Amino acid sequence: MPMGANLVVALCEQNAHSIREELHLIEAGDVKIMLRGDDVSDTEALRLRTNLGRLLEIIEGLRGQCD
């Protein structure tokens, strides 16, 4: 069964919300990401912002196709 634009946008919006929450925690210093003893919080925040940007592109690209 094919996935309609409405569902794709809704799922992407949910994921974008989760990423925003995670970014907020990292940027507020409430969460530190450690890898092999090194603080990689800034690297992880950059990765999350990049993923958020891609999700927002999908949302904007499909929003016009929603019923």
Its pTM stands at 0.85
**pLDDT, tens digit (0-9, with 9 covering 90-100), for 24-48:** 999 999 999 999 999 999 999 999 9
User: Tokens 């990049």, residue?
Assistant: 50
> How high is the mean pLDDT of the chain?
93
Residue type, 29: G
CA distance 56 to 36: 32
List phi, psi (to 5°) of 29: 85, 5
User: What integer pLDDT is reported at residue 19 of this predicted model?
Assistant: 97
DSSP 36: T
Nearest by Cα to 67 from 10, 2, 1: 10
CA distance 46 to 41: 9
